[in-house]
Amino acid sequence: GQQVMQIPQYQHVQEGEDFTTYCNSSTTLSNIQWYKQRPGGHPVFLIQLVKSGEVKKQKRLTFQFGEAKKNSSLHITATQTTDVGTYFCAGEGFVFGPGTRLSVLP
Amino acid sequence: GAVVSQHPSWVICKSGTSVKIECRSLDFQATTMFWYRQFPKQSLMLMATSNEGSKATYEQGVEKDKFLINHASLTLSTLTVTSAHPEDSSFYICSALTGTGASSYEQYFGPGTRLTVT
């Protein structure tokens, strides 16, 4: 079945530094979604990407879908402590990747 | 945004008993809901897709006779863990789908239910 992998598994950054997490699929995806889960909370939908090469921005967050629609990235500019959490990508079939846990040191 | 509730938020039960968890979409109708299971510090594992008015679709390795899913209305799906055992202890999260079409939807999650089987 379809699998999505994410790297890195963990990322520790100093507040103000940038952060990027990558999502890779073994198969071509029709779309990909990104979610954020705060410690102790539930996943929150961030965005869905559909088009090849698509780039979307939400304030300090930039999401990109690869040309081959097999990979995606989430980039956070100038991280803040409120960015702490685990970021998951999910491909079609609503199968989640393993997630990238971000910690931000003040 | 859309709100999804779950009840109960936590439950402790004895081994061998059954537990029912409710998932409701509060301000929208959801023909499709999902049930996930999450172990500490791990990702969400999709258990099944719940479709209103039809049988749930279970992921490979998930026992349908153990995890009974009923999607009785457009705003309610229930997960019943039958004859629960300690290894069923986990965080169960539901989600509901909004939007139409394969390329235009959003998935909203409930707050989760922590099940502990003693």
Instruction: Give chain B's length.
Output: 118
How far B118 CA sits from the closest chain A CA (Å)? 22
- Beta sheet of B4-7, edge-to-edge order: B4-7, B19-25, B76-81, B67-73
Query: CB contact, 8 Å: A87 with chain B?
Result: no
Interface probe, candidates B38, B95, B100, B107, chain A, greatest A C-beta count within 10 A: B107
Mean pLDDT over each residue of chain B, to the nearest integer? 91
Locus of tokens 């071509």: A28
What confidence score (pLDDT) does residue B52 get? 85
Distance from CA of B29 to the nearest CA of A (A): 17
Residue B103's pLDDT band, with cuts at 50, 70 and 90, is: low
Cβ atoms within 10 Å of A105's Cβ, excluding its own? 12
Residue B51 vs residue B86, higher pLDDT:
B86
Closest CA to A90 of A20, A7, A4, A2: A4
Q: Does B92 contact chain A (CB < 8 Å)?
A: no
Mean predicted confidence (pLDDT) in B38-63: 91
What integer pLDDT is reported at residue B2 of this predicted model?
81
- Residue B116 has which token pair? 């502990």
User: How high is the pLDDT of residue B98?
Assistant: 83
Is B103 part of the contact surface with chain A (CB cutoff 8 Å)? yes
For residue A96, the distance in angstroms to the closest alpha carbon of chain B comes to: 6
pLDDT in 10s for each residue of chain A, 106 residues: 568 999 999 999 999 999 999 999 989 999 999 999 999 899 999 999 999 999 999 999 999 999 999 999 999 999 999 999 999 999 877 889 999 999 999 9
CB contact under 8 A, B111 and A42: yes
Residues 6+ apart with CB under 8 A from B37: B44, B45, B47, B90, B91, B92, B93
Mean pLDDT of B55-69: 94
Length of chain A, in residues: 106
